[in-house]
């Protein structure tokens, strides 16, 4: 199903969901083009009519790939995994695959949306406490799960979609001054993952639209 045309990622440097897709592309060794969509400039470029045709939810990312446009980062990652060679992002074993999806959904549905930019802007002055509360609440659930599933990485000893979700969420936790040291398994896994080249090159500090003052 792969074509010669490079995929196009419409995303934002600090978006967790965009970062997940960048990690997946990097792990698979897939070349792609980036079109920055600033969530801040012009009141949010994701709200333009032009972008709405790509992603009716007016969120990032949107990925043009194989003649179609996909949104929702987990759907994009699973499509990449099913259509491209390279290391598996979901394990072959059904139980491990279910664990990867469980962890990914916990982060992508249960934690991250509650402290994304659109929600935080609605909260106002209490945004720091709000974000900390929901990240802590999620990590309190995630920590014992990872104690059961983790080996070298989130599920066993192979990098998976769960790891792709974990690293951006820990980055967000640190941005909102959450003490990640309270969660030793999460901390250990993140420290191992951020040393891997695919996670380094996809980091928010390394993107074409990264502001100069935030560049590595």
pLDDT recorded at residue 117: 84
Question: Helix %, strand %, coil % for the chain, to 5?
Answer: 60, 10, 30
Q: Note the residue count of the chain.
A: 216
Residue 186: CB atoms within 10 A of its CB come to: 22
Q: What's residue 216's pLDDT?
A: 78
- Region of 37 please: left (phi>0), alpha (psi -120 to 50) or beta: beta
Predicted confidence at residue 118, as pLDDT, reads 83
Identify the structural domains of the chain with CATH numbers, from first to last.
Answer: 8-87 (3.40.30.10), 94-199 (1.20.1050.10)
**Which parts of 73-126 fold into alpha helices (H)?**
73-83, 94-110, 117-123
What angle, rounded to 10 degrees, do the helices at 161-175 and 73-83 form? 150
Nearest to 83 by CA among 75, 73, 94: 75
Burial of 10 (0-12, 13-18, 19+ CB in 10 A): buried
pTM for the model: 0.94
Question: What is the chain's pLDDT, residue by residue, as a tens digit (216 residues)?
Answer: 445 689 999 999 999 999 999 999 999 999 999 999 999 998 899 999 999 999 999 999 999 999 999 999 999 999 999 999 999 999 999 999 999 999 999 999 999 999 888 888 888 888 899 999 999 999 999 999 999 999 999 999 999 999 999 999 999 999 999 999 999 999 999 999 999 999 999 999 999 999 999 997
Q: How many CA atoms lie within 13 A of 109 on its CB side?
A: 8
Predicted pLDDT of residue 4: 60
pLDDT at 125: 84
CB atoms near residue 136 (< 10 Å): 17
Tell me how far apart the alpha carbons of residues 152 and 138 are, in angstroms, rounded to a whole number.
21
Residue 59, helix vs strand vs coil: coil
Inter-axis angle of helices 73-83 and 94-110, nearest 10: 150
């Amino acid at each position: 199903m792969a074509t010669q045309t490079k995929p196009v990622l419409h995303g934002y440097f600090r978006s967790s969901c965009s970062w997940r897709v960048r990690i997946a592309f990097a792990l698979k060794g897939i070349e792609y083009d980036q079109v920055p969509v600033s969530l801040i400039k012009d009141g949010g470029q994701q709200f333009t009519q032009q972008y709405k045709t790509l992603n009716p939810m007016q969120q990032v990312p949107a990925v043009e790939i194989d003649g179609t446009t996909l949104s929702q980062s987990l759907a994009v990652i699973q499509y990449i995994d099913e259509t491209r060679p390279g290391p598996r992002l979901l394990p072959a074993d059904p139980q491990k695959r279910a664990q990867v999806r469980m962890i990914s959904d916990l982060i992508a549905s249960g934690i991250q949306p509650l402290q994304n930019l659109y929600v935080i802007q609605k909260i106002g002055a209490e945004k720091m406490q709000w974000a900390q509360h929901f990240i802590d609440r999620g990590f309190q659930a995630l920590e014992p799960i990872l104690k059961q599933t983790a080996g070298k990485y989130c599920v066993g000893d192979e990098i998976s979609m769960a790891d792709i979700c974990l690293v951006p969420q820990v980055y967000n936790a640190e941005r909102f001054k959450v003490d990640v040291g309270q969660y030793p398994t999460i901390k250990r896994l993140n420290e191992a993952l951020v040393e891997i080249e695919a996670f380094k090159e996809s980091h928010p500090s390394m993107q074409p639209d990264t502001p100069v003052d935030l560049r590595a």
